[in-house]
Chain A
């Protein structure tokens, strides 16, 4: 295996693994804080049990997220030393911000998880909201750094290196706001839907369990509202990509030729050699309309760019379709769930519960697909139109060895986490029956 491919694979696996725990670390604290807030308001004991159960699950997931995030911060240098040597002074301060946000998160999570009896209820609740807030802040800092790799701004090139660095301009790079919003919404939506799916499954076994009804309502609110907003965020982000990374957009849409009144392609597999997309359903002029609100607008195609700068088209196009498809499915479920909730019959609709169970992994699959679009779609660049990924990789040979080591490590950890959470959920189901019956 070539070293560059091994390095990219290791980075992809590390990110794909970490993003799951990172997203959960963003959203779970809000859910447990809401449950605790309901407990403080209603003194309904099942809310307290819910907050504690969610907190315990979060403890495991947060720890794995923390250590896999540590791996990533080192991997930036272990795999891409030239990138970090170049970009460290520009995006490093964002990671410093993230470091402090993470510090706050870890400190107050410790207080939240182990301070139930040590501080007053309101202080404890506040600790929960601080965890939730700092989780969002650290996500925004890191995603802003990634957005900068897509649309680098805030520096001048002096002798081939960045100088006169302006952090505010770095933070205001064109992708920053839209990418961070998209990711934070995704984290809440994905986590909310997983948790909703779990409690929906348990409700299907025991429809009258108040604990799971309450859990489902909170999870669906935390997941559902972002799922409703996500299409809007995605639309704005796509138009930003069209403006600043037209090549990536052309790859996403598999648009080989620049054309006016470009069609939107649903599905299909692009073939770069033949310059055609097979098995796609075309909606005439829809792409131009979506991007520029003008059915006759010209959309830049792949033909405007040298072939050696094209990202892998099939991967990017299919990943984008998967992300959008799953996203709209979640939006639909959120509407359905919201309607039932409005009627006060959330837990009574068997088909809704079944659909939520089936859709529970959808958010995380969409997150993975979305990151594939962002990262693979930026190739061959590590910093868009400034540094090629191939020029950033470490000179150390034999990179397949760490790739294998970290892959096995993460597969093993993923298996253990799933097994532990399974036990946790089963134990919760048994224990809460008692509370819920009171």
Chain B
């Protein structure tokens, strides 16, 4: 399949994914990113709702949000570090290209990550007396935490959108052509908004279950419904823009049978999440929302396959020597054997009533 929009002759898009060591490691990369979206992303969403805490229960909303994420956000954040590590170990050419061309949005995202994490830690661990609640410092850190939680997902999504659009190529020409145009365009920014909406949506459906205060549940339910609708709109917008801006992804999703299936299931999961949230069936709603988010990430990855960075880097040709890949795979599997029981223990301790509810939480 040769696209006229793409100056390089393209490899045929295979219908099935060939299991090689390269694609297996790429699969681990995708799993890390997925966990980052589902867990780390929701922590950013929690920051969004800190910023938009309104109404009589605003103070309690902010406290409930902080209480919900404080023991887990740092562990959730490590998924991003793991993903970056896999990327530069297994696909160093891709890491070098992305870090070069997307320097500006990556640096902006990092500033957001630093401000978000630091501000949240300052807010939570300031030992000033109890009167600190009224203190300007406390409010200031909450605002910084909230604002950086809004901006960071937009940058992250913009980076993903730029990769998907096939405009991340070795620098040539002017500064703007090389380092700005690849990401400063309608499509990448629409993916940024999609990421923001998705993170806020995930956070809201998780937070509903984290609290037993009915008024807070209602507040987060309404926010979830609004964010869920925003996800739908942003996803539709990105899909429409992708026809011109990311034709390969668009074709991958619209022209291949499994691509269409992923789209359909993702959309259905989104609609189901909304309906379940509306019906106050919170646990299934969270599962549906997480399914929707997962399928959006996987849809992007599958549509790109076999490309890592369109249109120059294939998973195959961007990969490190095989002995590195084998070793990394062993490390990842061994690491997972330690990681998942530890993570389970963490979540069991702090989210025990959510991951294994004693009573039906749908009341």
A384: Cβ under 8 A from any B Cβ: no
User: Interface size bucket, B side?
Assistant: 35 or more
| A293 surroundings in chain B (CB, below 8 A) | none
Contacts of B127 in A (CB 8 A): 56, 423-424, 427-428
In-complex Cβ contact of A166 among B106, B323, B342 (8 A): B323
Q: Which of A381-438 contact B (CB under 8 A)?
A: 394-398, 402, 405-406, 409, 413, 416, 420, 423-424, 427-428
Q: Does A92 contact B (CB under 8 A)?
A: yes
Query: Which one, A73, A97, A109, A162, contacts B74 given CB within 8 A?
Result: A109
Interface status of A96 (Cβ within 8 A of chain B):
yes
Given known contacts A59-B121, A102-B81, A395-B171, A88 and B92 CB-to-CB distance under 8 angstroms? yes
**How many residues of A are counted as interface, with CB atoms below 8 angstroms from the partner's CB atoms?**
70
User: Judging by beta carbons under 8 Å apart, are B349 and A111 in contact?
Assistant: yes
Say which residue of B74, B88, B324 sits within 8 Å of A106 (CB atoms): B74
Q: Mark B313-354, 1 if CB is under 8 A from A, else 0.
A: 000000011011001100110010011001101100110000
Check if A95 is an interface residue, CB within 8 A of chain B.
yes
B57 to chain A, nearest CB (A): 23
Cβ–Cβ contact B117 & A396, under 8 A: no
Q: How far is the CA of A59 from the CA of B117 in the complex (A)?
A: 11
Nearest chain A residue, comparing its CB with the CB of B336: A100
- A67 contacts which of B96, B114, B126 (Cβ < 8 Å)? B114
Q: Are A60's CB and B71's CB within 8 A?
A: no
The residue in chain B whose Cβ has the minimal distance to the Cβ of A396 is: B103
A69 and B110 CA atoms in complex are apart in Å by 10
Instruction: Select one of B71, B100, B327, B338 contacting A110, CB under 8 A.
Output: B71
Q: Judge whether A324 is part of the interface by a CB distance below 8 angstroms.
A: no
Query: B99, A74: Cβ atoms under 8 Å?
Result: yes
List residues of chain A with CB within 8 A of the CB of B115: 409
Question: Is A93 a contact of B328 with CB atoms below 8 Å?
Answer: yes
Would you give the 0/1 interface string for A97-108, flagging 1 where the beta carbon is closer than 8 Å to chain B? 111101110111
Binds B, one of A113-121, A206-214, A371-379: A113-121
Which residues of B, 74-93, contact A by the 8 Å Cβ criterion?
74-75, 77-78, 80-82, 84-86, 88-90, 92-93
Residue of B nearest to A118 (CB): B349
Q: Is residue B95 contacting chain A, with contact meaning CB distance below 8 A?
A: yes
A394, B78: Cβ atoms closer than 8 Å: no
Residue ID in chain A nearest B346 by CB atoms: A107
Q: Of B70, B81, B320, B332, which contacts A70 at CB under 8 A?
A: B81
Q: Is A163 an interface residue (CB 8 A)?
A: yes
Shortest beta-carbon distance from A92 to chain B in Å: 3
Interface membership of B72, Cβ < 8 A: yes
Is B113 part of the binding interface, using a Cβ–Cβ cutoff of 8 Å? yes
- CB-CB contacts of A76-95 with B at 8 A, as 1s and 0s? 11100110111111101101
**Does A272 interact with chain B (Cβ within 8 Å)?**
no
Q: Is B199 an interface residue (CB 8 A)?
A: no
Tell whether B107 is near chain A: CB-to-CB under 8 Å: yes
Inter-subunit contact B350/A73 (CB<8 Å): no
B95 touches A397 (CB 8 A): no
Closest B residue, CB atoms, query A98: B85
Contacts of B321 in A (CB 8 A): 89, 162-165
7 A-B pairs with the lowest CB-CB distances in the bound complex, closest first: A92-B89, A77-B99, A63-B121, A88-B92, A89-B320, A85-B96, A81-B96
Give 12 pairs: A residue, B residue, CB < 8 Å, sorted on A. Answer: A59-B121, A68-B114, A74-B84, A81-B96, A85-B95, A96-B328, A103-B342, A110-B72, A110-B346, A111-B71, A162-B321, A398-B175
